[in-house]
A and B are shown apart, each in its own frame.
Chain A
């Protein structure tokens, strides 16, 4: 009886590791969902970083830490803070990429961070535009059903001045593709990246 009890305890331990991770990620995603400002996103990024620190073989905590840091940068008004958050996010998504090679979501997020880093100083960082496009193209090639590279590209084009080939008219077809792909996209599980549908639809609406 005791043996069975001890054995069941051991079993509990083994799946408790992944269950523990799943629960923690789930909690983090909830926190991410309700985050509104730079402070919230920063706290969420820290939360995912703590998990990442303990789980050296998992790419997902690093992915969400990078995503949260990116949003903390976007919602932050200070240029130097934006830069620092983007740099941190870039570092984390690179580490995620090393743990999970040929990952479409990782490349899509990398392209997003590179574009935001460029936008801090467009004149001096034009080389990042090409890098960002290359990352998004890689993401599309690795998973044609992934709506995020299209959404990120569409959003970038939306905010690029018309002179440089951007603007609402140019963004419309790309966002349209993104919105269609969002409708049919099925994430691997409840913790896989599944963000952007709302914002893509909102931007597409503004293009009409």
Chain B
């Protein structure tokens, strides 16, 4: 027994003598103290937190060599080897800041990011949907951003002096051949996609990534949402029609089926129309989506939609007194987009996709029938290697199989093209404040038998916590439009972009200004000698954007101003002139206010643009005339309520409430004697809608 006590006492006193005291201080590598840092002896519980002065101390009975692990929120974990022998240890621990949104630079030259919880976001997807005057059309909402022109009389986005065909839309990385509904003369049509399909929108007004090509002006990148959280039914009843969407959520996948029907006849009978409709626009369609999580990091998506629309109208025939020309169109559009992405290892990610687009237009142009079919099949694969903590290298290849068939008045022709491309691009973070994006893209077109090589580069430098400076240079190639290509294999059209921007982006304010110069070459021209690529042009200007989400309580507003100086000599222009889609000054004011007590949000948009040029045969100066300035004031009101306990949004939207008589241009008779103004289909547009979400008990009473 005594031996027992003796041994025990010896052991205990030995333990007492072997207690080592560890103390120290935790600082950043610049010497600032860090509180709440965690210091621990690896594999033991022994450790402490650093206090408000960064100091810590604790004792341990452990002996021998041990690792001290230390970390703190927002800093990179680190470790240090020490020897425990009973002698007190004093440690000066240094931590390096972890890379996060606020201290890491990103590529911003030319681009506006919108989306939920994305880095560097300027708009949320709800912003796009609730911008007054857009009636939830992505493209219309984007027209309130700097660099874009209002286009009430033509479909598409006109960006920085570029024609509508020079802006392309990409859905999950794959090109969308026809993102707009069928086009009719002198009228803009809506985009096909609902903004609610997307979790992220990146609008690049220039200098975009080498991953994308075939767009001389800009790229609109749409990123679809991931799995819906639950099974819900969405019902929308609008003054123009109705739609239904059913989301069915399974364990790791989801199926969405939807359909819609629009008929503008009732609405147009109430709103006085300038257009002489023979058949008011009627459209129906359906979509099927399937998404499945193939692994914890992998996702496969299938999106397909089909739509059919009919339209018919009379336009004034200026060569015949009181005469009119008839135009009708039946458009059938099918679009399938599938994509797959996953991480093959910790540092490698693969993305691939396959898309099919088939658009068929037919109808009458006066008394002659026409038919046009466009089919594009695209396949794409890319690999990304994350070779450093922030830097990455992406490379891939894609191919487009294009076919166009045209028939007019008994004559037909067609062409097919196989466009193949390869690209490689690296985002090189020289430090966490400086990033360089260097890329190269090569394309080959079988129909034109032409090859191109396009360098792209961007540089970003983070000047402060919320601000950064960016520059970009890039070369962009695009096939001439199908209408010209079908006559003759031409060559790639080309544009060089030079951009410089400064951006300040915090949760409360965003200020952004960008200066650009674009040099166009090898644009398609038709002159006495036929079709060729002898056209050229330039566009230069400055965009300014200011957004404030905090100064006025419950309100959010933004102001965007663009100055554009552009001239081009292309198509049938006899000389270099300012095109109609390049207004010199454009100003957009968007204001949104949420009234909590009234459960509603009111948004208003005011747009001002200086006059657009138009061709007046009586003027020896080509495109020497300008329309009057354009003004538009739109309002929309959203009211949140419940119908049968289901979350409902009542939506009223009115454009041009002030009744400005806007003229977008003039059409002249062949002898130049008579002219008619090109005006919007109706002076005012009113749109009413009810959106009910059934089964989503997130917002249920």
* A residues at B contact (CB < 8 Å): 1, 5, 20, 24, 39, 42-43, 46-47, 49-51, 53-54, 79-81, 84-85, 88, 121, 123-127, 129-131, 133-134, 161, 163-165, 170
Contacts and interface: CB of A to CB of B under 8 A. Distances in A.
B47 interface: yes
A87 to B, nearest CB: 9
A129 B698 contact: yes
Nearest to A130: B229
A131 B229 contact: yes
A43 B36 contact: yes
Contacts of B596: 161, 163
Interface string B8-50: 0000000000000000000000000001101010111111110
B7 interface: yes
Nearest to B50: A46
Contacts of A51: 45
Contact of A42 (B36, B48, B599, B700): B36
Contacts of A125: 116-117
B507 A163 contact: no
B69 A53 contact: yes
A124 B124 contact: yes
A170 B701 contact: yes
B126 interface: yes
A24 B45 contact: yes
5 contacts: A46-B49, A49-B40, A130-B696, A134-B229, A161-B596
Given A43-B36, A170-B701, A50 B45 contact: yes
A141 to B, nearest CB: 13
B672 interface: no
Contacts of B698: 129-130, 133, 165
Contacts of A129: 698
Contact of B73 (A54, A84, A163): A84
B45 A164 contact: no
Given A125-B116, A165-B647, A165-B699, A50 B640 contact: no
A46 B36 contact: yes
Interface in B679-701: 696-701
Interface of B: 3-4, 7, 35-36, 38, 40, 42-49, 52, 69, 73-74, 102, 116-117, 121, 124, 126, 199, 225, 228-230, 507, 596, 599, 640, 642, 647, 696-701
A123 B701 contact: no
Nearest to A56: B43
Contacts of A1: 3-4
A27 B635 CA distance: 61
Given A5-B4, A42-B36, A50 B47 contact: yes
A119 B52 CA distance: 28
A126 to B, nearest CB: 7
Contacts of A46: 36, 38, 47-49
Most chain A CB atoms below 10 A, which of B73, B116, B229? B73
Nearest to B199: A127
B223 to A, nearest CB: 13
A133 to B, nearest CB: 6
A53 B42 contact: yes
Nearest to B595: A163
A123 B505 CA distance: 17
Contact of A126 (B116, B230, B507): B116
Contacts of B640: 163-164
Contact of B599 (A81, A123, A124, A163): A163
Nearest to B696: A130
B36 to A, nearest CB: 4
Contacts of A54: 40, 42-45
A39 B43 contact: no
A146 to B, nearest CB: 19
Given A131-B229, A163-B640, A43 B69 contact: no
Nearest to A73: B73
Nearest to A170: B701
Contact of A79 (B40, B507, B697): B507
Most chain B CB atoms below 10 A, which of A47, A85, A88? A47
Given A43-B36, A126-B116, A134-B229, 13 more contacts: A1-B4, A5-B7, A46-B38, A50-B40, A53-B69, A54-B42, A81-B73, A84-B73, A124-B116, A125-B116, A163-B640, A164-B647, A165-B700
A122 to B, nearest CB: 10
A5 B10 CA distance: 14
A170 B647 CA distance: 14
A54 B73 CA distance: 19
Contacts of B43: 53-54
B116 A127 contact: yes
Contacts of A161: 596
Nearest to B698: A129
A208 B121 CA distance: 42
A124 B47 contact: no
A12 to B, nearest CB: 12
Nearest to A42: B36
A50 B647 CA distance: 46
A149 B582 CA distance: 58
B412 to A, nearest CB: 49
A149 to B, nearest CB: 14
Nearest to A23: B45
Contacts of A39: 35-36, 52
Contacts of A81: 73
A126 B124 CA distance: 10
Given A54-B43, A54-B44, A125-B116, A84 B74 contact: yes
A43 B700 CA distance: 39
B617 to A, nearest CB: 52
A53 B67 CA distance: 12
A123 B126 contact: yes
Contact of B40 (A20, A53, A134): A53
A133 B507 CA distance: 26
Nearest to B229: A130
Nearest to A38: B36
Top 10 A-B residue pairs of the complex, sorted by shortest distance between their CB atoms: A130-B229, A46-B38, A50-B40, A165-B699, A46-B49, A42-B36, A163-B599, A43-B49, A50-B47, A124-B124
A46 B69 CA distance: 12
A8 B700 CA distance: 62
Contacts of A43: 36, 49
A50 B56 CA distance: 14
Given A49-B38, A170-B701, A88 B73 contact: yes
Contacts of B45: 20, 24, 50-51, 54
Most chain B CB atoms below 10 A, which of A39, A50, A126? A50
Given A124-B116, A125-B117, A133 B697 contact: yes
Most chain B CB atoms below 10 A, which of A1, A54, A79, A85? A54
A174 B278 CA distance: 58
A133 B225 CA distance: 18
B47 A164 contact: no
A114 B642 CA distance: 25
Contacts of A170: 701
A124 B121 contact: yes
Nearest to A123: B124
A27 B117 CA distance: 38
Contacts of A24: 45
B391 to A, nearest CB: 22
A124 B117 contact: yes
A170 B697 CA distance: 12
A37 B690 CA distance: 46
A121 B701 contact: no
Nearest to B123: A124
Contacts of B40: 49-50, 53-54
Contacts of B38: 46, 49-50
A164 B640 CA distance: 8
Given A54-B43, A170-B701, A85 B73 contact: yes
A164 B229 contact: no
Contact of B126 (A47, A49, A126, A130): A126
